[in-house]
Chain A
Amino acid sequence: MKLIFDKSMPGRRGVMPAESDIPVRANLDSRFLRSEPAALPELSELDVMRHFTALSEMNFGVDSGFYPLGSCTMKYNPKINEQLCALPGFANLHPLLPQLSTGRDRVQGALAVLHHMDMLLREICGMAAFTMQPLAGAHGELTGVIVMAAYHKAKGNDKTTILIPDSAHGTNPASAAIAGYDVKTVPSDENGVMDIDALREVLDETTAGVMLTCPNTLGLFNPHIAEICDMVHDVDGLMYYDGANLNAIVGRSRPGDIGFDIVHLNLHKTFATPHGGGGPGSGPVGVCERLRTFLPISIVRETRDGHYYLDYDQPEAIGYIAPFYGNFAVIVRAYVYILMQGADGLARVSENAVLNANYIRERLKDHYELPYPQLCKHEVVFSASRQAKKGVHAVDIAKALIDRGYHPPTVYFPLIVEEALMIEPTETESKETLDGFIEAMIEIAKLAETDPESFHAMPTSAPVSRPDETQAARKPDVASLA
């Protein structure tokens, strides 16, 4: 479709601001001014609505259909969350208001949301305190690793290394490295979980901590996890819980009880806030008792008479990691979701997420290679290795699914599974939807046997066929300049 800039018609106006009601005209020194206006498009409001409506029609969301993108927890986003976070009492609130003298009296409802969320997440995760500030999952990781560094610095520990399993999300090693740590990779054992003997070999006094998802990206809960926590604590390392996969165990097991010291959550996964085509997310970080003083500035606290205030008096804090109090509107959405779920609802979330994933595992295991056949949690990872022998790769299966009305699973991740197809159905999908998807996958597996050639043209029903990614990277065209 034409770019919005190419639809521009000189002289056409969209939304024009009112004429100023001020009697004077500012006379700005021309050396500060641009010689001509920035080359933005000139369009009517209707032109713009049609352009973006047409774009939206070329997009697949959870509301469009099944979206089993592994490790991303693409569950339904309840509409009431959208409505409530947009209330003027939240949306129009300036973040500097509570920093004015008596200003906090004007934002008690907003501070209450932040404080209630802190309390709810503590209880759900078994942690001593949360900061709501991190703006996404990876931002939470970085915050958590900086907290880890502050702890070791305060204790005078000389720690240089963070250990990460080979099945980890790429953000884990990237976050550790950006915070100044060396990264060592720990291999998985034959059952797909962190190899405890390999861990023992690399674990030493220089180990600052271990970052893990549990269950991991294969959807497997590590049976040795408590022992791993003990081993790491024995060298005064800290255990970091990447909450990307919390949907598997929410309401049933708590990272704090398992022995984790730091946890980040992805509110846009477990707690049903929209993924927004790539954000905004929200990545609150929880810590155990001995780390709470390191949490970033500021923290919402409650006075004895039930008023809320922002506490800036945190001498050991790691400083400021976000401009204010987090992605507040995302936090409001997650708050509404947790209120509606309650304790009972959360336990049913994980139960159905796990049931749905295992149902797919059982019904597809004869049709696709299943490298780790045991009970899984919220997601199941197949391999397209059998189909690949016929020339049909994971990416081809993905494209075939698009033609059958499904968003593909995550492909080629985790890296330790060849031709990986990582499927996470989530609890909000019904058996009929899963059955439809399973039938499509079986049909695709058969087609791979009988007519592997036919995959090369797929998808045929999408707005575009397969893009030339090589050209995109070799001759980058990343902006239309005026």
Chain B
Amino acid sequence: MPFIANTDDQRREMLATLGLSGADLFADIPDHLRCGSPDIPEGISEQQAAQRVGDLAGMNDTDLTSFLGGGFYDHYIPAAVPAIVGRSEFYTSYTPYQPEASQGTLQAIYEYQSAICRLTGMEISNASMYDGGTALYEAVMMALRITRREHVVVDRSVSVIYRTILRSYTTNLGIELDETAPDNGLPDRRAIGDILANGETAAVVVQNPNFFGCMDEFTDLAEMCHEHGALLIVSAYPIALGLLKSPGDMGADIVTGEGQSLGMPLNFGGPYLGFMATRKKHMRKMPGRIAGRTVDQNGKDCFVLTLQAREQHIRREKATSNICTNQGLCALTAIAYLSLLGKEGLRKVAQNCAEKAWYAQQELLTIPGVELRFPNRWYFNEFVLELPTRADRVIRRLLRDDIAAGFPLARYYPNMDNALMVAVTEKRTKREIDFLVHSLENAL
């Protein structure tokens, strides 16, 4: 099925127009650089492909009752979201370089940027980054540009996945990443304050709710940062922002996060959506595409890509980032999701998550020997349990009952062999939570 429209007759006609034979089309490639047919299977029909790839999909187990999170959550996706995103005028177009032919994409991006600002309490957002981790890396690079400093503090309560990405990207650059140890699950203000006192720190990076699910209030930290000329970067969970105080209200300078929860399936790791928002004064230091509102020749409101002097296709090696193709369709997904749920719907989703997680936590803590790893903290929809035995063994046992009980923190943190991180979304029912409690009790 090569998806080629020209018939053999047309090809002959076209070659005749060119005065060439078929072989001549590649005559500019030296003989020894041409290959024979690649050693891959012969093409198959659409029906055969549907069968074969359908079989592979069927080998994956998606009937599990899942309490897996870690920054990536199983939220309900309203049917109208894929109906909107599936309109091929959106998904078969590209970056809106020609605004007159791309007003749909451009206005949707502008609305997405607006929604992200309203959620995060910031003034400007870009049109998307790849994911929460690369968005955080871009935010760190941006903070270095703004402050002209080379030292960054990252608390270990920030997603370990984001921190490993950050390290991979910065190893060849002269940047000092200082990881601070949390105090019972939250960033340790005193330790961070001591480092800030040197006056060399570009930014402090924290997360809310953090990787362990703990909620925090960063107003004090923002003040500490600003006193020492540093920026506060907050990675946020957008569903939680339906209920929680925005990072902007706390004084954050740059807000990033993983947008998957805004209507995107888990997709075994992607595509996801990195979002990034900041204060207006940092606008020209921000990476990525930005849509702006202006007027056309007739004075009519319209939208364009703007502030392009920051970008790689203009500035080349002096650009704020190398990003070109971003996650346009995922940004559309997010604005469709946020519009469908609306002001009250998003608040309600967040509240359901928090309540169900609270219930799960209370019930799980009735099991003898099960405790909170970080006691006396407030949680949104994820929390870490300290089990009386190794978490990975318990997870294995519960998988036999088709429950993914959570994530074993030992995979990324030393001395956390018994720590089990449990996430609860609005999709989990009381029965499923009770089943988890029952199975966990039996497994111990």
Contact = CB atoms under 8 A, between A and B. Distances in A.
Interface stretch (A196-204, A231-239, A253-261, A383-391): A253-261
A154 interface: no
Given A1-B107, A123-B38, A174 B317 contact: yes
A178 interface: yes
Contacts of A455: none
B266 interface: yes
B44 A38 contact: no
B72 A90 contact: no
Interface stretch (B118-126, B148-156, B223-231): B118-126
21 contacts: A5-B114, A13-B342, A20-B356, A32-B216, A37-B347, A38-B347, A40-B341, A41-B342, A52-B108, A59-B93, A93-B267, A138-B324, A170-B324, A258-B33, A277-B94, A278-B327, A323-B270, A324-B270, A327-B271, A329-B268, A428-B3
Contacts of A75: 3
A274 B329 contact: yes
A90 B359 contact: no
B341 A14 contact: yes
Given A110-B60, A268-B325, A479-B123, A344 B42 contact: yes
Contacts of A77: 88, 91-92
A159 to B, nearest CB: 11
Given A88-B57, A254-B35, A342-B42, 4 more contacts: A26-B357, A32-B215, A323-B133, A344-B2
A292 interface: no
Interface stretch (B176-184, B185-193, B301-309, B366-374): B301-309
Interface in A266-323: 266, 268, 272, 274-281, 296, 318-323
Contacts of A37: 242, 343-344, 346-347
Contacts of A436: none
Interface string B323-364: 111111110100110111111111111011011111100100
B341 A93 contact: no
B430 A22 contact: yes
A296 B169 CA distance: 11
B345 A94 contact: no
B59 A16 contact: no
Given A26-B355, A84-B53, A471 B294 contact: yes
A427 interface: yes
Given A52-B108, A57-B89, A472 B43 contact: no
The 3 tightest CB contacts between A and B, nearest first, are: A324-B269, A342-B43, A319-B168
B95 to A, nearest CB: 4
A332 B270 CA distance: 11
B283 interface: yes
A398 B11 CA distance: 28
A23 B293 contact: no
Contacts of A20: 351-352, 355-356, 426
A349 interface: yes
Nearest to A72: B94
Interface string A429-460: 11101000000000000000000000001010
Interface string B1-26: 11111100011011101101010111
Interface string A89-116: 1111111110111110111111011000
A334 B134 CA distance: 23
A223 interface: yes
Contacts of B88: 61-63, 77
A200 B51 CA distance: 53
A87 B271 contact: no
Nearest to B349: A17
Contacts of B27: 375
Contacts of A105: 61
A330 B267 CA distance: 10
A315 to B, nearest CB: 14
Given A274-B92, A329-B270, A467-B303, A90 B57 contact: yes
- Interface residue range, chain B: 35 or more
A397 to B, nearest CB: 12
Contacts of B344: 13, 16, 37, 42
A283 B165 CA distance: 17
Interface residues of A, number: 209
Nearest to A312: B411
Interface in A362-378: 362-363, 374-375, 377
Interface in B227-271: 241-246, 249, 265-271
A327 B246 CA distance: 29
Interface string B111-144: 1011111110001110110111110000001000
A11 to B, nearest CB: 9
A402 B216 CA distance: 52
Which residue among B58, B338, B341 has the maximum number of chain A CB atoms within 10 Å of its CB?
B341
Contacts of B60: 89-90, 93, 106-110
Contact of B339 (A41, A254, A356): A41
Given A52-B84, A61-B91, A249-B29, A335 B53 contact: yes
Contacts of A347: 37
Given A272-B3, A343-B42, A467 B130 contact: no
Given A60-B102, A63-B92, A345 B2 contact: yes
B352 A136 contact: no
Contact of B26 (A99, A141, A252, A327): A252
B57 A472 contact: no
Given A33-B243, A467-B295, A428 B269 contact: no
A280 B331 CA distance: 10
Contact of A109 (B25, B57, B245): B57
A323 B165 contact: yes
Contacts of A100: 392, 395-396, 399, 404, 407-408
A77 B329 CA distance: 15
A420 interface: no
Given A15-B78, A410-B97, A430-B10, A24 B362 contact: yes
A242 B86 CA distance: 30
A190 interface: no
Contacts of B165: 319-323
A69 B93 CA distance: 10
Contacts of A429: 5
A176 interface: yes
Nearest to B290: A478
B131 A135 contact: yes
Given A14-B340, A109-B60, A149 B172 contact: yes
A101 B393 contact: yes
B293 A277 contact: no
A481 B169 contact: no
B317 A221 contact: no
Contacts of A345: 1-2, 43
B217 to A, nearest CB: 6
B124 A478 contact: yes
B14 A146 contact: no
A26 B358 contact: yes
B105 A479 contact: no
Contact of A398 (B98, B169, B341): B98
B62 interface: yes
A213 to B, nearest CB: 14
A481 B130 CA distance: 24
A352 B10 CA distance: 11
B269 to A, nearest CB: 3
Interface in B51-75: 52-62, 64, 66, 68, 70-72, 74
Given A322-B165, A349-B2, A431-B6, A472 B304 contact: yes
A25 interface: yes
A430 to B, nearest CB: 4
Nearest to A183: B317
A37 B338 CA distance: 13
Contact of A92 (B265, B270, B317, B352): B265
A479 to B, nearest CB: 4
Which residue among B43, B167, B242 has the maximum number of chain A CB atoms within 10 Å of its CB?
B43
